[in-house]
A and B are shown apart, each in its own frame.
Chain A
Amino acid sequence: MVKNVFGRIYIGLIMLFLYAPIVVLIVLSFNNSKSRAKWGGFTLKWYSELFDNSIVMDALWTTLTLAILSAVIATVLGLLGAIGIDAMKKRNYQIMLGATNIPMLNADIVTGIALMLFMVRFLPLGFSTMLIAHITFNIPYVIFSILPKLQQIDVSVYEAARDLGANSVKAFWKVIIPIIKPGITSGFLLAVTMSLDDFIITYFTRGAGVNTLSTVIYGEIRRGIKPEMYSLSTILFLMVLIVLVMSNRASKKQVK
């Protein structure tokens, strides 16, 4: 009984602190008034202004290209990495697991500055450096999505495929890949969300004139908050939400 009450209070607090601000933001993005305190009626004005703004539209395009491209490349590399780690013996396995974990736990600002200092030596800052940076921080998420699925596979399933006439390549494509597919999909989608909502690392590795949605918002806000930014933030939030829901669905498939 008491547990139940505390549970409800906890959920209430979470809702309040995590979601209430976002709800406020979304509501304000439809507010026909520049005031943050007064409701001036429903409008889509800020959204249409947003879509007329070429800087924002460029940033949207860059954000999406960056997210998809970095997620695809990170998924391929992460898949190879996961297969390699899975095949490792105990000691190397632990080392690689640690090495994969650190970038995820490391402060973004450290990762961002480090990547920037490193890449600036041989690449002009711009889309390509952002892409490399996003691939880098996406790979661990992909690995940790795929690895558990690989570990669930009984080696004899692969051997059974070989036994039945499939060569190693065919056995991999027809048996291993389909079994770990939910892990690959959720890893890919997780990488998309990570790329979509990253600001700090993007901020340090981007070049002049290249913007993502998050850097545009940051840049605008420094000059004073305009209601358009509420709509832009709402769009960003919804994009991440949609991909995250897809990712959860993909990983649940396997459990069934």
Chain B
Amino acid sequence: MSDNLLELRGISKAFDGKTILQELDLNIKSNEFVTLLGPSGCGKTTTLRIVGGFEKPDTGSVIFNGEDITALAPEKRHINTVFQKYALFPHMNVEENIAFGLKIKKKSKEYIKDKIKYALKLVDLDGFEKRKPNSLSGGQQQRIAIARAIVNEPEILLLDEPLGALDLKLRQDMQSELIRLKNELGITFIYVTHDQEEALTMSDKIVVMHRGLVQQIGTPKDIYDEPCNAFVADFIGDSNLLKGKMLDDRLVEFLGERVICVDEGFGKNEPVDIVIRPEDVEINEVGKGIVNGVVKNILYKGANYEMTVEAGGFDWLIHNTVAYPVGSMVSLYVKPFNIQIMKQMDESEMILDEDMENETYE
């Protein structure tokens, strides 16, 4: 037996002949905060529903504590879910909502009472026992949904885009609230979101998914600093995505320039994708960088300026604390270790733009 709390082995799932998940493998350890991240339709919610028992995979198995629970009904799993739209029972008050799972498990009245008190305190809503769900704000409903799930002492708490319906400020408050809760409860969280910032802030481990496939698994820092392909690079944070050719170890060519980098082990003249983060592009006097260009656009973003510089036939996105006026001539430079080089993805896999636009309109 391994030390994994949950293992997904070769999970595939299709709806109406449309493949949603392909041979998904995923291991989750006890007490981890794991985030499934990806654009809509990437299979993240389906994965969560398979763990919760609401969908059966077409192939593959779900192993929980070393036991195969693939066919186990949701009510028999030591896993609880916080649903996207909270799914509180509208005909019950807060207290009855929280007590629902405990009553079914035939816990004593005193036990239930204590649990309700404890849970409401934990989510900072004591005194709300008799309120009806529809008299609560979105953030309060969300916290009741969390309280209702955790009183059952699950080993894994599943959260399906729980903050999606909240406004920005509330969302940020709830993010730190969730991290606090997780540390206090010491249980495993599996969190689904399409919001990369949320994922980077909260997770111990991020699973980036796209088109039913896991693209990359790693810590937030791994994923941001060392994206394994162009999709991950583009989905997580802003980036400049260039096509290039590896001339030799530590020497890459892009935009017609030969540039020193730190990557090794690619074939000679192998075509590659190159990712450069906007904050890693340095602006120098003309002639003192890799390529010369002209500032086309500048936006004040509070903490820094966001500039577009056309250089070498490519529009560079640049974050800098110094403003360069539109029209000024500059030269761009990138330190070798800030140049991320990745094997090229199939063209067919590069559909992210349209996917991500759909996401914003949801």
Show the binding face of A for B, using Cβ within 8 Å.
154, 156-157, 159-167, 170, 174-175, 178-179
Question: Interface majority SS on B: helix, strand, loop or mixed?
Answer: loop
Q: What is the size category of the interface that chain B forms with chain A?
A: 20 to 34
Chain B, residues 246-267, CB within 8 Å of chain A (1/0): the string is 0000000000000000000000
Are B90 and A179 in touch, CB under 8 angstroms? Answer: yes
Q: How far, in whole Å, are A179 and B88 apart by their CA atoms in the complex?
A: 12
With a CB–CB cut-off of 8 A, which chain A residues contact B88?
157, 160
> B104 is contacted by which of A154, A156, A157, A165 (Cβ under 8 Å)?
A165
B52 located at the interface, meaning its Cβ lies under 8 Å from any Cβ of chain A in the complex: yes
Min distance, Cβ A160 to any Cβ of chain B, angstroms:
4
Chain B, residues 73-90, CB within 8 Å of chain A (1/0): the string is 111000111011101111
Are B74 and A163 in touch, CB under 8 angstroms? Answer: yes
Q: How far, in whole Å, are A167 and B152 apart by their CA atoms in the complex?
A: 16
Q: Evaluate whether A166 and B104 lie within 8 angstroms (CB atoms) in the complex, with A159-B74, A159-B81 already known.
A: yes
Which single residue of chain B is at the shortest CB-CB distance from A152?
A: B90
Min distance, Cβ B77 to any Cβ of chain A, angstroms:
8
With a CB–CB cut-off of 8 A, which chain B residues contact A160?
81, 83, 87-89, 148
Known: A157-B89, A163-B80; 19 extra A-B contacts, CB below 8 A, are A154-B85, A156-B84, A156-B87, A157-B88, A159-B52, A159-B54, A160-B83, A162-B73, A162-B75, A163-B74, A163-B79, A163-B149, A164-B80, A164-B148, A164-B149, A165-B105, A178-B91, A179-B89, A179-B91
Min distance, Cβ B78 to any Cβ of chain A, angstroms:
10
Q: How far, in whole Å, are A170 and B149 apart by their CA atoms in the complex?
A: 18
CB contacts under 8 Å to A, within B71-117, are: 73-75, 79-81, 83-85, 87-91, 100-101, 104-105
Chain B, residues 191-226, CB within 8 Å of chain A (1/0): the string is 000000000000000000000000000000000000
Q: How far, in whole Å, are A18 and B53 apart by their CA atoms in the complex?
A: 57
With a CB–CB cut-off of 8 A, which chain A residues contact B83?
156, 159-160
Min distance, Cβ B55 to any Cβ of chain A, angstroms:
10
Are A164 and B91 in touch, CB under 8 angstroms? Answer: no
With a CB–CB cut-off of 8 A, which chain B residues contact A161?
89, 100
Q: Which 9 A-B pairs have the closest CB atoms?
A: A164-B101, A156-B87, A160-B87, A156-B83, A165-B104, A162-B74, A178-B91, A163-B81, A165-B75
Are A165 and B85 in touch, CB under 8 angstroms? Answer: no
Which single residue of chain A is at the shortest CB-CB distance from B98?
A: A164
| 9 chain-A/chain-B pairs, Cβ below 8 angstroms | A156-B85, A157-B87, A157-B88, A157-B89, A160-B89, A162-B74, A166-B100, A166-B104, A170-B104
With a CB–CB cut-off of 8 A, which chain B residues contact A164?
75, 80, 100-101, 104, 148-149, 152
Q: Evaluate whether A165 and B101 lie within 8 angstroms (CB atoms) in the complex, with A159-B74, A159-B81 already known.
A: yes
Min distance, Cβ B99 to any Cβ of chain A, angstroms:
10
With a CB–CB cut-off of 8 A, which chain A residues contact B89?
157, 160-161, 175, 179
Q: How far, in whole Å, are A81 and B305 apart by their CA atoms in the complex?
A: 61
With a CB–CB cut-off of 8 A, which chain B residues contact A178?
91
With a CB–CB cut-off of 8 A, which chain A residues contact B74?
159, 162-163
